[in-house]
Amino acid sequence: MARTRPESDADKLRRRNRELSILNTIAQAMNQEVDLTRALNTALAQVAALFDLQTSWIYLLDEEGKAYLAAAQNLPPALAEHPRRMGGSCDCLWYYERGQLPSPTNITCSRLENLAVGTLGLRQHASIPLNAHGRPLGVLNVTSADWDDINADDLRLLYLVGDLVSIAIERGRLFTRSVEIGAVEERNRLAREIHDTLAQGLAGIALQLETADALLESGQAAERVRGVVEQALRLTREHLEEARRSVLDLRAAPLEGRRLDEAAAQLVQEWAARRKIEAQVEVIGSQRPLPARVEVGLYRILQEALTNIGRHAQAKHVRVQLMLLPEGARLLIDDDGRGFDPAQVPPNHYGLIGMNERARLLGGQLEVSSTPGQGTQIDVYVPLEISP
């Protein structure tokens, strides 16, 4: 039996220098990112390059303790092309959630072990727990087809990398919360401005018209003028009520503290019940939290799409599909209505214009596919990498 040569002082120094260099490189790369999604993808890219690993992915726990796929690097086709396979629990998550995740060692991936095609030879991975101040955050999984090249020292080093990733997660979430707080304050500021200008202005107009109406009551042959004044009063009161509704919309986030998938499902169900239309909502991928601006934007696009279907499509069935993936979010809205020619849309069709503008503001794109008599599909994609 061959003896293992003891590690010399020079070997130890070279190993420690390499470890410090890896940790420093990863720390510097992640320190340049405050956005959580970009920080996680940066971490995975650095891990792949510095450890010569093929595939890695990160599961994070949401506020309810449910795991969602937050980032991935070079998933094999069997997983990348079938997002459902990355949802739900698995062996490593089961162990992690119970505090029983073993020290760095080979773990047979329960998502891959029963698949024969598209796995790229991947069967096992190492699972590194991500924690902050004793609070569980998630799991970092790393693997490669040449798994034998991963030695015990590198596995232990990956635990230290996990600590750096945990710090980046905490910082990213703090940054997101600060942005959301700023957005709430801005909404309230805009609400006060609308109330102090538009709403009060309309109230003043209504008061003057009411005074004019009272004065006309004492004159002769004033019926024609009174009819005009009463019509103006009705319009003014309607606009005043609309302004008040706008103030409420600005003060309250449209999702009301719910995740996008939950809010979208309720929106579609309530809309379908009012319209007596059959509707189906499907969520594909991990039910992950998205940046607040992305969630609100996609929700508003869905609202406008449903409004357009109700007004114009004469549809009997509507299908909404929400795909939540590490690299982006996709919203598909299909109806079996009368359809239209997208090239002949009137320039004042503000519904489609508004949806396009919202998608562009999120750094995404919106595509409309429709043929007269064959329904309509709206496809919205927002890349999370560049979303504010």
What's the mean pLDDT in 118-146?
88
What's the mean pLDDT in 202-231?
71
What's the mean pLDDT in 231-240?
70
State whether 168 and 303 are in the same domain. Answer: no
DSSP tag of 374: S
| Residue 52 included in any domain | yes
| Residue 66 included in any domain | yes
User: pLDDT-derived band of residue 333, with 50, 70 and 90 as boundaries?
Assistant: very high
Choose one of 178, 204, 219: the last residue of a domain: 178
What's the mean pLDDT in 91-107?
81
What's the mean pLDDT in 61-72?
89
Question: The domain spanning residue 314 has which CATH number?
Answer: 3.30.565.10
State whether 37 and 166 are in the same domain. Answer: yes
Amino acid present at 14: R
Q: What distances in angstroms separate CA 35 from CA 27, 69, 81, 261, one per listed residue?
A: 15, 16, 26, 22
Q: What distances in angstroms separate CA 325 from CA 70, 81, 112, 213, one per listed residue?
A: 8, 11, 19, 61
State whether 145 and 284 are in the same domain. Answer: no
State whether 26 and 145 are in the same domain. Answer: yes
Q: What distances in angstroms separate CA 159 from CA 11, 48, 171, 283, one per listed residue?
A: 21, 15, 19, 33
Question: The domain spanning residue 133 has which CATH number?
Answer: 3.30.450.40
Residues recorded for the chain: 388
Q: What pLDDT, on a 0 to 100 scale, did the predictor assign at position 302?
A: 94
| Residue 377 included in any domain | yes
Number of domains in the chain: 2
State whether 159 and 276 are in the same domain. Answer: no
What's the mean pLDDT in 180-188?
69
Task: Domain of residue 73: give its range.
Answer: 14-178
| Residue 243 included in any domain | no
**Mean of the per-residue pLDDT values for the chain?**
82
- pLDDT: which is higher, 250 or 18: 18
Q: What pLDDT, on a 0 to 100 scale, did the predictor assign at position 387?
A: 42
Contact 92, 127 (CB under 8 A): yes
Give the percent of the chain with pLDDT over 90: 24
> Residue 364 above 90 pLDDT?
yes
Q: What distances in angstroms separate CA 235 from CA 185, 240, 245, 303, one per listed residue?
A: 31, 9, 15, 26
What's the mean pLDDT in 249-262?
71
> Residue 112 above 50 pLDDT?
yes
Q: What pLDDT, on a 0 to 100 scale, did the predictor assign at position 243?
A: 64
Q: What pLDDT, on a 0 to 100 scale, did the predictor assign at position 338?
A: 92
Q: What pLDDT, on a 0 to 100 scale, did the predictor assign at position 388?
A: 42
Q: What pLDDT, on a 0 to 100 scale, did the predictor assign at position 240?
A: 67
- Which of the given ranges, 42-46, 56-60, 156-160, 258-262, has the highest pLDDT on average? 56-60
DSSP string across 288-324? ----HHHHHHHHHHHHHHHHHIIIII--SEEEEEEEE
| Residue 279 included in any domain | yes
Q: How far apart are CA 21 and CA 33, in angstroms?
A: 19
> Residue 199 above 70 pLDDT?
no
280 forms beta bridges with 319
Could you report the per-residue pLDDT of 288-316, keeping only the tens digit for each? 778 878 888 899 899 889 988 988 889 99
> Residue 252 above 70 pLDDT?
no
| Residue 90 included in any domain | yes
Choose one of 126, 159, 178: the last residue of a domain: 178
State whether 270 and 152 are in the same domain. Answer: no
Q: How far apart are CA 353 and CA 332, in angstroms?
A: 17
* Dihedral angle of Cα 102, 103, 108, 109, to the nearest 10 degrees: 90
What's the mean pLDDT in 319-346?
89
User: pLDDT-derived band of residue 285, with 50, 70 and 90 as boundaries?
Assistant: confident
User: pLDDT-derived band of residue 130, with 50, 70 and 90 as boundaries?
Assistant: very high
Q: Which letter, b or e, does each residue of 322-341 get, where b requires 16 or more Cβ atoms within 10 Å of its Cβ?
A: bebbbebbbbbbbbbbebbe
